[in-house]
Amino acid sequence: MTTEGVNVHLTIDREQEGWDGHVGFVPNYVKELNPDVGKTVLVCGPPIMIKFTLAGLKELGFTEEQVYTTMELRMKCGVGKCGRCNIGSKYVCKDGPVFRFDQLDELPNEY
């Protein structure tokens, strides 16, 4: 699917009745798609999927400066009051929730 210059590729892990799209794990599908390493990548989803997708993107030649992700799963109040979303000195709800991967590398490995 392409929307105004953005390519969206959908996949599911296991076959399901009514789904006629791609079936397979996201990290493997990304490598299969072999995207242009000159592009920017936005990754969202469960943390484990993000971790393996980033590894696959690095194998393809992407740098951490080209990959953005979202950390909203850490958020509770969303307005900087509960303190549940902090990673080091950053509050996901106030400083993010979208971060570039090289920015996340500068934070404690708490995510």
Binding mask 64-93 for ligand FES (x = CB under 6 A): -----------xxxx-xxxxxx-----xxx
N-terminal to C-terminal alpha carbon distance within the chain = 31
List phi, psi (to 5°) of 53. Answer: -70, -40
Instruction: Give the nearer residue to ligand FES in terms of CB position, either 67 or 87.
Output: 87
User: CB of 59: closest distance to ligand FES in angstroms?
Assistant: 33
Vertex 98: Cα angle to 95 and 99 (nearest 5): 80
SS3 87: strand
The residue (of 37 and 82) whose beta carbon lies closer to ligand FES is: 82
Give me the residues that bind ligand FES (CB under 6 A), please.
75-78, 80-85, 91-93
